[in-house]
């Protein structure tokens, strides 16, 4: 997985000067509402899935022909797994990381990577936190002067054999 993320980042960096367009529409502070699909991979168990929802914020700036940004989000999920005995449920998922993008067509094509921390709840036995890394690929499209929508694929890999695949959409406002 690391090879593919590195290849995507390098490709975006090399392609940016050739595709450099007006990237001012993708700069500044932004907030967004996030919704999507969450599939949790628990080693040795059936993969629970569910609805992902949350909020995000970030700041993007144009540097040459690319857009660099820092972002954070807090999400939760309805993914739940019934094992023999207690239920295992996903709980909050926190993320902070960066993104690198270039204008393609009327939108911003970007890659992202960063730190994530998820919490799993086991009914009757408490919960535990897991540190991990997230990588993703997305496309952001400006609807009007300050509003945008985006779609994104995310892969997160946590400690103790837990990983997540997520497909999300977001609606945001840039200030």
Low-confidence ranges of the chain (pLDDT < 50): 2, 4-6, 9-10, 12-20
**pTM value surpassing 0.85:** no
Q: Kindly report the backbone phi and psi dihedral angles of residue 124, in degrees, each rounded to the nearest multiple of 5, phi listed first.
A: 90, -15
Q: Give CA–CA dist 127/74, Å, rounded.
A: 18
**C-alpha neighbours within 13 Å on the C-beta side of residue 66:** 16
Q: Give CA–CA dist 137/152, Å, rounded.
A: 6
b/e string for 117-139 if b means 16 or more Cβ within 10 A? Answer: bbebbeeeeeeeebebbbbbbbb
147 C-beta neighbours (distance < 10 Å), count = 13
Domains of the chain, CATH where assigned: 2-174 (2.40.160.20)
Give the model's pLDDT for residue 140: 97
Q: Kindly report the backbone phi and psi dihedral angles of residue 84, in degrees, each rounded to the nearest multiple of 5, phi listed first.
A: -65, 115
């Amino acid at each position: 997985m690391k090879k593919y993320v590195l290849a995507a980042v390098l490709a975006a960096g090399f392609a940016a000067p050739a595709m450099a367009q007006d990237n001012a529409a993708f700069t500044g502070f932004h907030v967004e509402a996030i919704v999507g699909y969450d599939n949790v991979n628990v080693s040795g168990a059936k993969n629970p899935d569910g609805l992902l929802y949350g909020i995000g914020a970030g700041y993007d700036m144009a540097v040459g022909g690319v857009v660099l940004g820092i972002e954070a989000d807090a999400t939760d999920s309805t993914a739940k797994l019934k094992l023999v005995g207690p239920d295992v449920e996903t709980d909050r998922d926190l993320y902070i990381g960066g993104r690198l993008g270039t204008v393609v067509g009327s939108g911003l094509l970007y890659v992202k990577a960063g730190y994530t921390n998820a919490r799993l709840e086991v009914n009757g036995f408490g919960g535990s936190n897991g540190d991990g890394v997230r990588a993703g690929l997305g496309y952001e499209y400006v609807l009007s002067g300050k509003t945008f929508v985006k779609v994104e694929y995310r892969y997160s890999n946590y400690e103790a054999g837990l990983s997540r695949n997520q497909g999300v959409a977001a609606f945001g406002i840039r200030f």
